[in-house]
Amino acid sequence: MKTKLTKTIMSSLAFACALVCLAAAIALAPGTSTTARAAADARVCSVGMLRGLYLWTFDGFANFGGNFVPKAIMQGLRFNGDGTTFNPFGTVNIGGTIIIDATGGVGTYTVAADCTGTLSITDGPTFNIYVGPGAQQVWTLETSPSPAGVGVSVGTAVRVP
C-alpha cells in the first residue's frame, strides 16, 4: 500500500513540475520574441546599406492621354551606396509593346533611419521605398507622375547574390 501511495505522490509531483516548467517556458517565450522583435525594429538604416545589384520588377498602369494601360518593368538597379543608382539593363513593356530599353538609366535615392526612403529616376518616375532586413529586398511604390506621365506601380527589388 505504501509503495502505491509513494508512486502516486511521485507521479503527481513529476506532473506538477512538468506543468510548472511548461508554464514558465510559455511565459518566457513572448518576452523573448518581444525582445527579438524590439531588436529588429531598432535597426537603423542608411543610404550606405544599399550597395550592389538588385533585380527590380514592378507593374502597374501607365497614363497615356488620360487612358491607363498595363505596364511591366524588369531591370537591374545598381545601388552605389552613396545615394546614386545605375541601370545596367532593363526593359519597359507598356500595353504589350516593348517601348523603352532602360539600360544606362541613372537616379538618386535616400534612406532614413527608419528604413523608409525615396528613389528618383532621372527624367522618370519617383518612388517611396522601404528597405527590408539586411537590405536584401527593397519594396517600391510609385508616388508622383513624371514628365513622361508614367502612372502608378508597385514592385520589389531583390539583391542579386
Across residues 125-153, what is the average pLDDT? Answer: 85
The Cα–Cα gap between 44 and 64 comes to 40
Helix intervals (H) in the chain: 2-41
Question: What does the pLDDT read at residue 112?
Answer: 98
Question: What does the pLDDT read at residue 131?
Answer: 98
pLDDT, tens only, 82-123 = 999 999 999 989 888 887 787 889 999 999 999 999 999 998
Per 3-state DSSP, the chain is made up of helix, strand and coil in percentages (nearest 5) of: 30, 45, 25
Across residues 2-22, what is the average pLDDT? Answer: 39
CB-based contacts of 50, cutoff 8 Å, min separation 6: 79, 81, 109, 111, 131, 135, 138
The Cα–Cα gap between 148 and 125 comes to 8
Question: What does the pLDDT read at residue 82?
Answer: 98
Strand partners, 149: none
Question: What does the pLDDT read at residue 109?
Answer: 98
- Within 13 A of 79's CA, how many CA atoms are on the CB side? 27
Residue 106 phi, psi (nearest 5): -130, 165
pLDDT, tens only, 28-77 = 444 444 334 334 556 799 999 999 999 999 999 988 777 889 999 999 99
Q: Which of 159, 122, 161, 121 is nearest to 142 (CA)?
A: 121
